[in-house]
Amino acid sequence: MDAVILTGQKLIDEEHGQTQNINQHLTELEDILNKLVEAANEKSDRLKEATDGQTYMRGLEEIDMWVNDVENTLTNDDYGKDMTSVQNLQKKQQLLENEFSLKKDRIDQLSKDAEHFQQIGHFDSNNILKKQIQLVTRFQSLLDPLQQKKEKLTASAEFQRLLHNIEDEEAWIREKEPSIMSTNRGRDLIGVQNLLRKHQGLMGELQSHESQIRTVCNEGEDMINQGHFASAEIKKHIVNLQSKWQNLKEVSVQRKHDLEDSLQAQQYFSDGKEVESWIHEKEPVAQSTDYGRDEDSCNALYKKHQQLFNDINAFNRI
């Protein structure tokens, strides 16, 4: 093209006979060339806009796919079955919250890019703006569910801690049950006294531990009053713990009464044996047929017999 223009210009400079026609053709040719360059530039601009638009849309699609995944995660009702699983879910929740912060920065940049496309008159700017607004709306709609998920996981962790505490208390009760529910009442006075002394110690432990039981139950009641999502389950566990605790106390009181009854009986048997032993000791004196052989021996036997009466009277007063 440049060669044609140079040749034509040379002919004009040499005052060729067709100078006027040549000049006209050159002008037309230059107009065509200018229009071609302008069209090429416009095409180049459009291609760049299209490339920029496609790049932008890919960015939107990536965020949109991420939003889909997050929506599925947040609608999952799994809040953990034990403390380990709850803690794992909380770690995932924290990672998700961190990712939210990063995605927000990316969405803010996409919003600025959409505004820029509007300002430069991008051929697809209206569609880009529409997609950007839809994405921002979806992203913002995740914020409340994200917070709710966090709160429920926190509540789930509290629930698992409560269950752990309740299990500890029930284990404590099971540990004390064999001694408190024992049917051994002792075989003699010393045995009963030892059992009663041991049981009084256990009752002291129960009295001291009751505040711990009350604390655990109060924690559960507070969670129920605050509308915890597992309120029904919490109530069931609390009632069960209270029932076991009340039964342990009642059995403890009954065990105390049984041992006291046994102590009274063993004391009676012990006293009876003591009386029987004393009687056996005195029988030879009372049943003696020795009445003395002279005055001195008679007086001695009389005094001994009188002492026996005094011992009997003294023993009766015991």
What is the total count of domains within the chain? 3
Average pLDDT score over the chain: 84
Closest CA to 282 of 259, 316, 252: 316
* In a shared domain, residues 91 and 193: no
State both tokens at 271: 């006293």
* In a shared domain, residues 106 and 183: no
Query: Which one has a higher pLDDT value, 5 or 313?
Result: 313
Question: In which band, very low, low, confident or very high, does the pLDDT at 71 lie, cut at 50, 70 and 90?
Answer: very high
The mean per-residue pLDDT over the stretch 127-140 comes to: 92
- Give the CATH number for residue 201: 1.20.58.60
Q: Which of 141, 176, 210 is the C-terminal boundary of a domain?
A: 141
| The Cα angle at residue 171 between residues 167 and 172, in degrees rounded to 5 | 120
Instruction: Give 261's contacts (C-beta < 8 A, 6+ positions apart).
Output: 185
Question: In which band, very low, low, confident or very high, does the pLDDT at 8 lie, cut at 50, 70 and 90?
Answer: very low
The mean per-residue pLDDT over the stretch 178-202 comes to: 94
Global pTM value:
0.70
86 in Cβ contact with 156 (< 8 Å): yes
* In a shared domain, residues 133 and 191: no
The share of the chain scoring above pLDDT 70, in percent, equals 71
Query: Which one has a higher pLDDT value, 306 or 40?
Result: 306
The mean per-residue pLDDT over the stretch 229-251 comes to: 97
The mean per-residue pLDDT over the stretch 60-82 comes to: 92
Closest CA to 250 of 203, 301, 212: 203
Question: In which band, very low, low, confident or very high, does the pLDDT at 273 lie, cut at 50, 70 and 90?
Answer: confident
Look at the alpha carbons of 272, 307, 301, 298 in this order and tell me if their dihedral is positive or negative. Answer: negative
- Predicted pLDDT at 121: 85
Res. 229: pLDDT tops 60: yes
Res. 14: pLDDT tops 90: no
The mean per-residue pLDDT over the stretch 190-214 comes to: 96
Q: Which domain, by its residues, includes 31?
A: 2-141
Res. 256: pLDDT tops 70: yes
* In a shared domain, residues 109 and 11: yes
Query: Would 147 be classed as within a structural domain?
Result: no
How does DSSP assign 17-31, residue by residue?
TTHHHHHHHHHHHHH
* In a shared domain, residues 63 and 168: no
- Predicted pLDDT at 269: 80
Look at the alpha carbons of 249, 252, 258, 261 in this order and tell me if their dihedral is positive or negative. Answer: negative
Look at the alpha carbons of 240, 244, 250, 253 in this order and tell me if their dihedral is positive or negative. Answer: negative
Please state whether 80 falls in left (phi above 0), alpha (psi between -120 and 50) or beta.
Answer: left
* In a shared domain, residues 160 and 262: yes
- Predicted pLDDT at 33: 66
106 in Cβ contact with 59 (< 8 Å): yes
The mean per-residue pLDDT over the stretch 52-61 comes to: 86
